[in-house]
Structure 1
Amino acid sequence: MVLHSQNLIRNIIYSLVRFVSYLKKVRSRTRFFILISIDFLALVLSFSLIEYSNKFSSLYFDPPFLIIKYVVSILIMQIIYIFFGNYSLRTLYFDSKAFYRTAFINFLSISFLYFLFRLFINDLFINKFLFLWLVSTFFLCLSRMFIKDILLSSSLRVNTKYTTIAIYGAGGAGAQLVNSLILDSKYKIYALYDDNPSLWNTEIFGIRISPPSNLLYDKDFIGKLFIAMPSVDEYSYSKVIRKVEQYKIPIMQVPSINEITKGIANIDSLRPIPIEKLLGRKVVPPFTNLLENAISNLNICVTGAGGSIGTELCMQILRLNPKKLLLIDFSEVSLYNLINKINEDLSSRNINIEVIPLLGSTTNYMFLKNNFMKHKIDVVYHSAAYKHVPLLEYNVLNAIKNNIFSSLNVCKASLCANVKKVTLISSDKAVRPTNIMGSTKRISELIFQAYDSQLNNNSINQKKNTIFSIVRFGNVLESSGSVVPLFKEQISKGGPITLTHKDIIRYFMTIPEAAQLVIQASQISKGGEVFILDMGEPVKIMDLAIKMIRLSGLELKNADNLQGDIEIVITGLRPGEKLYEELLIGGDCYPTEHPLIYLANELSIPYEELMTKINDLKSAYNNMDRTNALNLMNELLPDWQRSKINS
């Protein structure tokens, strides 16, 4: 008997699921008549309850009259429903707004019935009509909610390939995301997690909110974790990412609150976590006075303006209202793309700043000198350089020309044009270099130091008051030649990710932060300083690659997980590549007025001694004497560990 009852219930539920699934596929006209029929039954039930509650009243009529009265009443009500568009509401999206609308339309229809009854039947018991409104609204909305739940259930039954997901963040964004995804048959929401203890063990749309520690036990049941915290600061967001990534669940995020409010993206426009979220750096707001004093109402020049750092420098500079911005780059494509980006930015802000794009090379001294003088440049940011480590190992002479001689030309031209401040953008690879890129950068630093010390010794025209300084920092995320764009491309192609060594580590910083710190360091400079930027903790590149895979919503493929998505292949260190980078040659550094900018105590070479070697280096370049050029560089940099290619 019990077994028979269970089978009967199972068959009824199965029939309901099939019927409601059929509703999803039928045409709108058929669906319209089906919903009218369901509402008709709901209203019949409502009127029956009302009549049963009033069967002992004096106005209790005979059954035929009652049937006619109530059938006519129901038809009148449904005509009103149709007139006010109650059947235009999609059942699958029946929510609180739809409930209020249904209740209001039902109130209008019953109010109309009340006046009809008063005129023709003299049925004046208003409490009966209020009770009818409550009961009919209950049954109408209950039928809609029941159909909605069956539709959702049938969607998951039909789609056996859905992904079980969890949502971290049970605030407003989390609730919106649940409301959006609960209708999506591609996902089944397993749980919500939040750091706020007051939300634990409560529910949103029937989904329970748990403490994040429960992820330890739930991780095997979750296919993806969605982070719904668009309004928190970067540091707090990074803490959450570091907390949840240990569970090895693919992670996605909702758009920022700014994108949502501007209509650029919807709450369910999920995307991979940006890699900068992994840095975990506390954001130190830029010092406004340093930024403005460095740029405002001055004529600024950026060399290598079309590169990653140069482009961001230009965009940051334009927000500080310079009088003029001179862009120098030898790449026509890069300069064209930059000027388009600048024009779009200035147009959107309705600002008019004179921007002059110049195609040319910093290896051309007269080109630099003439333009510095013509445009009365006040500040120069020297970003132009070759930076690709393995490539430069095979192109020593061109690296010397483009990196070393261009730095010399910038110093000479700046001094001649009486530029107020010149800042060299250097690299951590200049510290105890093991490659051509790092060694040419270190010699460029020595040139800047020598020019400033020569000015201080009053050996050059005393009217010259140019300040030379250097800013040294590590890898910049998303810059050309960085591992991050390479890894992203390899992940997008399905892998594998190529890594030169499993233990290699690097410092990282975001491009906007680096550009802002360079500008602030230039304003702090008094002459000859080597500034180093606080890069935070070094990052193991193997860990970075694994995190990028997971943050892309994918899984690492290795011996423990052969069904994973992306494999990591170790290729071996490239020529001139270090396992780790440093920021200090000596070991001493001192704080400045900015908490992320430090002053390094670095050795320099006297101007005359350095210029003698540089002139010899020029002769070696002119003679295309690669061996002599390398030997001269080694004399300038005794601690340079040359790679096998250049040994």
Structure 2
Amino acid sequence: MLKLLEALTRQQKAMIVLVLDLGLLPAALFFALMLQNMPSSSLIIVGKMLPLMPYILLGTGGLSYWLGIPRVQLIAYERHAVGLTALVALFAALSAATLSAIFGPELPAGLFVVFGLIYLLTMVAARAFLLQVVLAVYRRARPRARVLIYGAGNTGTQLAQALKAHDGIDPVAFVDDNKSLQGLMLMGLPVYAPSRISEVVEVRRIKRVLLAMPSLSSPKQARIIHRLQNFGLEVQALPSFAQLIGEEALVEKLTPVAPQSFLSRDACDMPLQASAGSYAGRVVLVSGAGGSIGSELSRQLLACRPTKLVLYELSELALYTIHQELSQQLEGAGIELVPVLGSVTDPRQVRRVLERHKVQVVLHAAAYKHVPLVETNPLPGLANNVFGTQTLASAAAEFGVERFILVSSDKAVRPTNVMGASKRMAELIVQDLASRCDPSGDSSAGRTVFTMVRFGNVLGSSGSVIPLFQEQISRGGPVTVTDPQVKRYFMTIREAVQLVLQAGAEAKGGEVFVLDMGEPVSILQLARQVIEAAGYSLRDADHPEGDIAIEIIGLRPGEKMQEELTLSSELIRTAHPKILCAREAVLSEIEVAAFMRALRQAVAVGDEEGARQIILRWVEGYVQADRDRKTS
């Protein structure tokens, strides 16, 4: 049957419809006569009108064809086409009345009014019947997708009306949060409450849901979509009219907000001329060059005009990304860019790179820094952060590197997690090398200036709270905060790197530079700011209709309520107001060698508890985290 339908040309289909319309005309006349109280039989009267019928049929058929009614597709037969059909029915009634008055038989005028109405109704009904027949044929040949429409407002009802004429989609029901609509029938479809979705889906064998609530905010839509997907349903959201005409993007994205907008102070922005002399005309190596800090160090170092910049990175993708970015900026600049794929824990590769490229300045930013991940995987974290620092720093001293600058963290101060402890051990290694080094003469550690710069969180870095909050907002929330009392120090990546380069340039050897990061920022308040900056409202007990909620999930293993920047309260001011110098106790060469030997043995045999005991023995202020606490 489907092949037969598809084989018919458009002209042939129009002729079939026209013949059907003309066939309905005498039937409508006969039915109209039956409804009238006539003195003679209906068949006798129809017989008397047979000589007039060819003229009525010819005129009616000609008008219908001229108006294009037979050529209107059944699926597109709507108000305008019904109006034209009414015009044809009126013409048929007037023609029959006129010819009957002239040639007989004489009939009452009311008969032709009834005839015209019946003819109109039969033509419309015939088309509705034909449409259902054709759709049934297509359904049998091509099974339709059964869909549930979420939203029974204007958009949802219009969507249902459109889909009813679709040959591949079968709308079966509505779901709506509006209690006044639940239980009603709209467009011939029942309206259910969201609580009955699982029941409706199972009974009606639904696999897809169309979300027809374009006026709903993006987070609220995301929450509904997530809930529906939990039922194993495919969900598609209908765009708003503004999106369809191009006034809004079909895919909404968070509006980028400058990281300094979330600082509780003015961001520091200093020119690099003051520190550029320590890097200009030199070969500079940046470890972890593809990370957040390492990539920004590499960008800003280009402005200092080194002769060569060595990008040392373990991640292939991160190295490729930063190398491609910087290569486009260096055309004609006369600066050689060298990408090196490898680990700082590999002594042979580290020595080969330093020797081959005659490296003069090392900025060591490579580290595993995500607290929960390192807490769960302590041995790889210790190996990378501690052994990698020792390997790179020792090789720097051996090959006469001028400056070695360790990028450290506030989590190294009285740490409660393995990541912070590993950074503190890295600091102890660098402090030990600095104590044995005399930049002005010969020493066991050479002439290298060893120093370190310690600071807190940087806004916008990978794994930091703002990108996490923005990702959670894009999914509809909630935004997760560990504890309402948690506070952190924050800097922008740009200002942190500027100050690292400045501190590294001022270093004489052995300093622990601490960056002035202002007052600590409440993470709960920061979450509110990020939600509002994205254009959404906070949802809480006072505002249940808000867009995004904040969920308190509890401190993760190793997290503190508030970080510290120094082990002592004694800070020395430097030439730059934002750079301070901490006076802290150091371990002796023998003590550093002892904990390194013990740590290497623990890592070699995979002894996690032994490694934690070594940290407890040698890292000042370390307190083991409660590992039973949830890690999410």
Task: Quickly name the TM-score band, shorter chain normalised.
Answer: 0.5 to 0.7
The answer to whether the 8 A contact 1:305-1:384 is kept is yes
AA paired with 1:557? R
**Deviation per CA, 1:61-102, whole angstroms, max 9, x where unpaired?**
xxxxxxxxxxxxxxxxxxxxxxxxxxxxxxxxxxxxxxxxxx
Q: Distance in 2 between matches of 1:539 and 1:397?
A: 32
The answer to whether the 8 A contact 1:452-1:468 is kept is yes
The answer to whether the 8 A contact 2:375-2:418 is kept is yes
Deviation at 1:644, TM superposition (A): 2.0
- 1:567 corresponds to 2:549: yes
Q: Distance in 1 between matches of 2:628 and 2:548?
A: 35
- SS of the residue 1:361 aligns to: coil
- Say which one has the larger Rg: 2
Q: Distance in 2 between matches of 1:629 and 1:272?
A: 42
Deviation at 1:367, TM superposition (A): 0.9
- 1:480 corresponds to 2:459: no
Distance change (3 Å), C-alpha of 1:457 and 1:324:
closer
The answer to whether the 8 A contact 2:436-2:445 is kept is no
Distance change (3 Å), C-alpha of 1:285 and 1:476:
closer
Q: Distance in 2 between matches of 1:556 and 1:644?
A: 32
- 1:522 corresponds to 2:500: no
Name 2:326's counterpart in structure 1: 342
**Mapping for residues 194-593 of structure 1, pairs under 5 Å:** 271=255, 273-347=257-331, 350-456=332-438, 461=443, 464-593=446-575
Deviation at 1:275, TM superposition (A): 3.6
AA paired with 1:279? L
Name 1:170's counterpart in structure 2: none
**Deviation per CA, 1:534-565, whole angstroms, max 9, x where unpaired?**
11111000000001111111100011111110
AA paired with 1:452? A
Distance change (3 Å), C-alpha of 1:551 and 1:361:
same
Name 1:221's counterpart in structure 2: none
Q: Distance in 2 between matches of 1:542 and 1:302?
A: 34
The answer to whether the 8 A contact 1:429-1:581 is kept is yes
Distance change (3 Å), C-alpha of 1:641 and 1:463:
closer
Q: Distance in 2 between matches of 1:573 and 1:528?
A: 34
Distance change (3 Å), C-alpha of 1:416 and 1:270:
closer
Deviation at 1:278, TM superposition (A): 2.6
- SS of the residue 1:327 aligns to: strand
Q: Distance in 2 between matches of 1:461 and 1:370?
A: 23
AA paired with 2:270? P
AA paired with 1:416? E
**Deviation per CA, 1:452-501, whole angstroms, max 9, x where unpaired?**
10124999746921010010000001111101100011112221101111
AA paired with 1:640? Y
The answer to whether the 8 A contact 1:393-1:436 is kept is yes
**Deviation per CA, 1:565-594, whole angstroms, max 9, x where unpaired?**
000011111000111111011111111011
The answer to whether the 8 A contact 1:385-1:402 is kept is yes
- SS of the residue 1:294 aligns to: coil
Structure 1: gaps (5+ residues) = 1-268
Which of residues 614, 620, 635 is equivalent to 2:602?
A: 620
Distance change (3 Å), C-alpha of 1:450 and 1:574:
same
**Deviation per CA, 1:388-408, whole angstroms, max 9, x where unpaired?**
101111111111100000010
Deviation at 1:280, TM superposition (A): 4.2
- SS of the residue 1:381 aligns to: strand
Deviation at 1:419, TM superposition (A): 0.1
Q: Distance in 2 between matches of 1:376 and 1:646?
A: 48
Distance change (3 Å), C-alpha of 1:574 and 1:280:
closer
- SS of the residue 2:265 aligns to: coil
Distance change (3 Å), C-alpha of 1:496 and 1:514:
same
Distance change (3 Å), C-alpha of 1:610 and 1:493:
same
Name 1:633's counterpart in structure 2: 615
Q: Distance in 2 between matches of 1:444 and 1:310?
A: 17
The answer to whether the 8 A contact 2:254-2:534 is kept is no
Structure 2: gaps (5+ residues) = 1-252
TM-score normalised according to structure 2 size: 0.58
The answer to whether the 8 A contact 1:312-1:512 is kept is yes
Q: Distance in 2 between matches of 1:403 and 1:270?
A: 34
Identity value in percent = 42
- SS of the residue 2:277 aligns to: helix
The answer to whether the 8 A contact 2:294-2:365 is kept is yes
The answer to whether the 8 A contact 1:478-1:511 is kept is yes
- 1:603 corresponds to 2:585: yes
- SS of the residue 1:576 aligns to: coil
Deviation at 1:302, TM superposition (A): 0.3
The answer to whether the 8 A contact 1:294-1:520 is kept is no
**Deviation per CA, 1:90-119, whole angstroms, max 9, x where unpaired?**
xxxxxxxxxxxxxxxxxxxxxxxxxxxxxx
Q: Distance in 2 between matches of 1:491 and 1:572?
A: 19
TM-score normalised according to structure 1 size: 0.57
The answer to whether the 8 A contact 1:476-1:511 is kept is yes
Distance change (3 Å), C-alpha of 1:458 and 1:643:
farther
Number of aligned residue pairs: give it. 380
Distance change (3 Å), C-alpha of 1:442 and 1:459:
farther
Deviation at 1:281, TM superposition (A): 3.0
AA paired with 1:567? A
**Deviation per CA, 1:323-349, whole angstroms, max 9, x where unpaired?**
0000111100000011111112224xx
AA paired with 1:321? R
